[in-house]
Structure 1
Amino acid sequence: MKHHGGCHCGAIAITYESDVTPEETEVRACQCSFCRKHASRAVSDPAGKVTLTLHDEGAVQRYRFGLGTADYYLCGRCGVYVAAVMPDGERSYAVAIINAFADSARFTRTLILSDYSAEDEAGRRERRRERWTPAEIIVA
């Protein structure tokens, strides 16, 4: 299954691929202040794929905070938070923010509230390698 979406103005597009149906997909709500302020609902599938396409790279804002292990992709023009991406050598891993999907209403499972504040950098990177989705970033 492919789920398409992106920011409101079209500067950032996202495709999330997973064999798990939206209705069966675990939906997480990180409890950090950034994610709470965006009311983000995140999904990932280690067997899937996230593709971010940057149609207007000048409008893309990458934000890092806390341990600085991931780039949070937001549109600087329309403000939509689309994904978080952790670079890891030659690979990247991502969580997709379903609020940015055209079919976001299909992700109906009860939110799992997630608190990662006790993690150190090594633990956070390891969890993401295991649970986040392999990602590709394309500059169009």
Structure 2
Amino acid sequence: MIEEQGRVVALEPGAVWVETLRRSTCSSCSANAACGQGVMERLGVGRERGHVRALSTLHLNVGDAVVIGVREELLVRSSLLVYLLPLLGLMAAALAADAAGLSEPLCILSGLAGLCVSWLLVRWRASRVADDPQLQPVVLRALLAASP
């Protein structure tokens, strides 16, 4: 399970909205001193807050610190679908156009059409499974607040 800490910003029946800080892994990379992305992270560029809807059976209040989790295999499958399928669509359409003997501009347009069709398939699939509880992040536990 991949875990992330956040703060509850809104409540829904059976779910909460959690605000998380988007971070890169630059601090753990050995080349971060010579990397442009590492410099950008140190300057705070690209640090944004994300809002995630997570299922919860816990009694929580707005402002509570929580840990949310996503199953690892779900993240891997989703990444493959989002990144690999459009790339495969682009390549397949371009290669099919080339095999059909079309000119280079038409091969390029075919590749772009394959990319767009694949992207639409990804969007269609995402909309079909958006409400599936098996595919949603969940609140794993609430964190204790520090005493003043």
User: Do these two structures clear the TM 0.5 threshold for a shared fold by scoring above it?
Assistant: no
TM-score tier by shorter-chain length is under 0.3
Instruction: Provide the TM-score with structure 2 as the length reference.
Output: 0.26
Q: Which has the higher helix share?
A: 2
Instruction: Provide the TM-score with structure 1 as the length reference.
Output: 0.27
Determine which structure has more spread, i.e. the larger CA radius of gyration: 2
**Larger relative contact order (C-alpha < 8 A, sep ≥ 6)?**
1
